[in-house]
């Protein structure tokens, strides 16, 4: 997809250059078009990186019932809202760990999420209290039955395939568990 966008921008540049030569643009127009084009390219890349999640990601290794996985961390409210939206794939043994400063009842949905997922709700001691399967692009709410501090999203049926059940324990590095660090995102 990126390649197609680049080809369109290249064509546009050649088109503008051709107009300049053929139409003998005045000096203002000659400098105005490249400036506007440059600004459009910068804005396009900023929007694309935010929408498609190409920004710098915080990742950690955690262990779920003896299986090591790599998770992206969603710590801020903005990261919680974005989650795994707009992604077309999710690699095996990779997921997203939502970290909250305090235990509370959580709700998840799958708006603009294209990959089928399962979510495990995890209390502050690392115990899985509930596992739910979620359908892509669904607005159905998946609520935790208990107050929890973490939610782990993995590919659909990942927990079932790896024999992970409610009551199993998730081991996390101390910097995720430490009170306050997860709230402000420091020390990652």
pLDDT confidence tier of residue 101, bands split at 50, 70 and 90 = very high
Residues of the chain with pLDDT > 90, as a percent, come to 62
CA distance 122 to 168: 9
Closest residue by Cα to residue 156 from 100, 109, 90:
90
| Fold (topology level) of 59-184 | Jelly Rolls (2.60.120)
CA distance 185 to 188: 7
Task: Give 75-90 pLDDT, tens digit per residue.
Answer: 999 999 999 999 999 9
Tokens 């939206």, residue? Answer: 85
Torsion of CA 46, 107, 132, 49, to 10 degrees: 0
The reply to whether the predicted model has a pTM over 0.85 is no
Q: Report pLDDT for 177.
A: 76
Task: Kindly tell me if the per-residue pLDDT of 11 is higher than 90.
Answer: no
Task: Give 132-149 pLDDT, tens digit per residue.
Answer: 999 999 999 999 999 999
Q: Where are the domains of the chain?
A: 2-51, 59-184
β-partners of residue 68 are 63
Q: Report pLDDT for 180.
A: 37
Task: Kindly tell me if the per-residue pLDDT of 1 is higher than 80.
Answer: no
CA distance 95 to 186: 21
- Mean pLDDT over all residues of the chain? 81
Q: What's the mean pLDDT in 112-135?
A: 97
Closest residue by Cα to residue 127 from 74, 85, 171, 77:
171
pLDDT confidence tier of residue 179, bands split at 50, 70 and 90 = very low
CA distance 178 to 118: 26
The gap from C-alpha 39 to its chain's centroid, in whole angstroms, comes to 26
Q: Report pLDDT for 47.
A: 55
Q: What's the mean pLDDT in 48-77?
A: 81
Task: Kindly tell me if the per-residue pLDDT of 183 is higher than 50.
Answer: no
Torsion of CA 141, 136, 162, 127, to 10 degrees: -20
CA distance 79 to 98: 8
């Amino acid at each position: 997809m990126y390649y197609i966008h680049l080809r369109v921008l290249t064509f546009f540049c050649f088109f503008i250059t051709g107009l300049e030569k053929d139409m003998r643009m005045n000096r203002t127009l000659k400098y105005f078009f490249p400036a506007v084009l440059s600004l459009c390219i910068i804005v396009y890349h900023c929007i694309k990186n935010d929408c498609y999640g190409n920004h710098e990601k915080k990742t950690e290794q955690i262990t779920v019932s003896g299986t090591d996985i790599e998770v992206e961390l969603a710590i801020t409210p903005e990261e919680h809202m974005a989650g795994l939206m707009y992604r077309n794939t999710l690699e095996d043994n990779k997921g997203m760990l939502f970290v909250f400063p305090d235990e509370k009842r959580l709700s998840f949905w799958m708006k603009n999420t294209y990959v089928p997922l399962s979510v495990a709700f995890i209390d502050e001691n690392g115990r899985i209290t509930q596992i739910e399967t979620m359908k892509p692009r669904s607005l159905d709410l998946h609520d935790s039955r208990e107050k929890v501090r973490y939610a782990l999203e993995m590919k659909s049926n990942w927990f079932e395939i790896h024999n992970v059940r409610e009551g199993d324990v998730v081991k996390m590095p101390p910097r995720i568990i430490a009170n306050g660090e997860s709230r402000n995102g420091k020390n990652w």
